[in-house]
Amino acid sequence: MADAKRYFREHLSVGDYYSEGQHVSGHWFGKSAAELGLSGVTGVDEFVRLCENRHPQTGEQLTLRQNTTPMGTDASGEEHQAANRRVFYDFTFSPPKSVSIAALAGDDTRIAQAHDRAIVEALKQLESFAATRVRKNGQCADRATGNIVAAVFRHDTSRALDPHLHSHCILFNATYDAVEKQWKALQNHDMLVAQKFVENVYYQELTRELVKFGYQIENKPRGDFEIKSVSLELIEKFSKRHRQIDEKTRELLAREPEKAQGNVAAIRENIAHKERPPKVRDMALSQLQTMWDGQMTTAERRSLRNLAVAEKQMVHASATVAEKAVAWAEEHVFERRSVLQEHELWRHALEHARGENIQLADIQAVTRQRDYIRDGGKVTSREHLEREWEIVARPKMAVVVAMRSLLIAGPAIASWMMNNAMRSTGS
């Protein structure tokens, strides 16, 4: 709890440098936020009350589980305090480095505003995956709630003071269960599963506006994109914090080589949080821009000024663009798996159409017309299911495959498999 309060005062509200006494203003987001009477700028008092699991207006306890610190025992046998309630989750969105360079070193204020709008669209999708746990009357399941209470803080530098546009989206551990008519802890499992889809909603909304501003984008094999004509040398020059983390990771793995077999990404993330340089006080963005300008060559400064041509009128892409994007996604995803979450199709379709003037709704309109077999959020195509059935439909295996589908894919898809099994076995 103390860390949560400190996180607001020392990180969220001041960013990675102190801007001459100015503070970063967070903004409330979410259906639950509105239900709790929260809107506009995030105040510290309301933030702290939510951290303490209290209603931000009345101060009453919000969810059933209260903040306590029971005593626990670690592997060495020593006693220590262990919090039994998560306070909040921090989902962070950031564009590729070239976008931060154009926005901040290039002083194009339109990009930061487009970033904010893209964050809103992405969070709307993230909110749709909110759920809570149901542990009553022998039930052990999750129930969709579709509402969150969040505070969004936009920062503009890394701790190494490089241009780094990013937003921390603080999701408090509370959601309203309309069935039980009470506030409960947030179950974030489906949100984490859908994280790549949500990220691609953010990317698509941002790139649509970048193209409108006159920038050219280039999609990368790793799944993101960069602004064309921002050189790799300039990106590397303004990635000092990334290099610091890389170096610390190499040093750790050299000392403890057995950890190289584990989750290196998690190791890097831990180093990023634990080994931060101190914040720099009393610097304005104008001073940072002067510092960034001094790090660039004359050619790099000229190239940055010439990145965006005149803003252009955008014409909404035809339905054919969305159709082709979905067809590509189907071919790309279904060749590896016969059953998947529908948002995975949306994610890959958005990635394929990135930079086109279409939105998620255009992609969803196409998939709604598809003759998928649906089960909750999962889908499969009849063509792929029939092809898979031809491979496995031997009399002794048919029922086994159908039962396995029930466990993995869900009852609707398993029903299709069971009907084929019965026809194959004559039972």
pLDDT tens readout for residues 4-39: 778 888 788 876 655 555 677 899 999 999 999 999
Q: What is the mean pLDDT of residues 255-280?
A: 69
Would you state the pLDDT for residue 263?
76
Would you state the pLDDT for residue 404?
57
Nearest to 178 by CA among 135, 129, 144, 219: 144
> Is the dihedral angle over the CA atoms 76, 82, 84, 88 positive or is it negative?
negative
Query: Do residues 364 and 394 share a domain?
Result: no
Query: Do residues 268 and 203 share a domain?
Result: no
Phi and psi of 92, rounded to 5°? -115, 130
Give residue 388's region: left, alpha or beta (phi > 0; psi -120 to 50): alpha
| Helix (H) / strand (E) containing 280 | none
Would you state the pLDDT for residue 197?
97
Q: What is the mean pLDDT of residues 362-377?
A: 92
Would you state the pLDDT for residue 320?
93
Instruction: Count other Cβ atoms within 10 Å, centred on residue 218.
Output: 13
What is the distance between the alpha carbons of residues 267 and 270, in angstroms, rounded to a whole number?
5
What is the distance between the alpha carbons of residues 201 and 126, in angstroms, rounded to a whole number?
10
Would you state the pLDDT for residue 67?
53
What is the distance between the alpha carbons of residues 128 and 410, in angstroms, rounded to a whole number?
21
Q: Which carries the bigger pLDDT value, residue 253 or residue 28?
A: 28
CA 408 to chain centre: 25
Q: Are 59 and 74 in contact (CB under 8 A)?
A: no
Query: Do residues 93 and 205 share a domain?
Result: yes
Strand partners, 372: 381
pLDDT of 231 > 60? The answer is yes
Residue 179 lies in a domain: yes
**31-68: per-residue pLDDT in tens?**
999 999 999 999 989 999 999 999 999 999 999 876 55
Q: What is the mean pLDDT of residues 110-136?
A: 96
Q: What is the mean pLDDT of residues 329-334?
A: 92
pLDDT of 274 > 70? The answer is no
Q: What is the mean pLDDT of residues 360-367?
A: 96
What lies within 8 Å, CB to CB, of 365 at 6+ separation is 319, 322
Helices (H) and strands (E) in the chain, counts: 18, 15
What is the distance between the alpha carbons of residues 220 and 231, in angstroms, rounded to a whole number?
14
What is the distance between the alpha carbons of residues 330 and 348, in angstroms, rounded to a whole number?
9
Residue-averaged pLDDT of the chain: 84
Weakest-pLDDT range from 20-29, 271-280, 372-381: 271-280
Would you state the pLDDT for residue 408?
56
Query: Do residues 119 and 220 share a domain?
Result: yes
Residue 404 lies in a domain: yes
Residue 299 lies in a domain: no
**pTM value?**
0.82
Question: Which range of residues forms the domain containing residue 97?
Answer: 2-229
Q: What is the mean pLDDT of residues 258-281?
A: 68
Weakest-pLDDT range from 144-148, 329-333, 394-398, 421-425: 394-398
Query: Do residues 89 and 181 share a domain?
Result: yes
Residue 407 lies in a domain: yes
Instruction: Please identify which of the residues 7, 17, 203, 372 carries the catalytic annotation.
Output: 17
Reported confidence tier of residue 182, pLDDT bands at 50, 70, 90: very high
Query: Do residues 275 and 331 share a domain?
Result: no
Residue 22 lies in a domain: yes
Would you state the pLDDT for residue 76?
47
**206-221: per-residue pLDDT in tens?**
999 999 999 999 999 8
Query: Do residues 177 and 276 share a domain?
Result: no
Residue 300 lies in a domain: no
Residue 287 lies in a domain: no
As for how many domains the chain has, the answer is 4
pLDDT of 85 > 90? The answer is no
89 carries an active-site annotation:
no
Query: Do residues 393 and 425 share a domain?
Result: yes
Query: Do residues 187 and 265 share a domain?
Result: no
Joined together, the tokens standing for residue 23 give 């503070």
Residue 157 lies in a domain: yes
7 carries an active-site annotation:
no
CATH of the domain at 187: 3.30.930
Nearest to 3 by CA among 87, 64, 65, 61: 87
Query: Do residues 137 and 201 share a domain?
Result: yes
Q: Which carries the bigger pLDDT value, residue 313 or residue 36?
A: 36
- Crossing angle, helix 382-392 and helix 395-408, to 10 degrees? 140
Radius of gyration of the chain (CA): 25
What lies within 8 Å, CB to CB, of 278 at 6+ separation is none
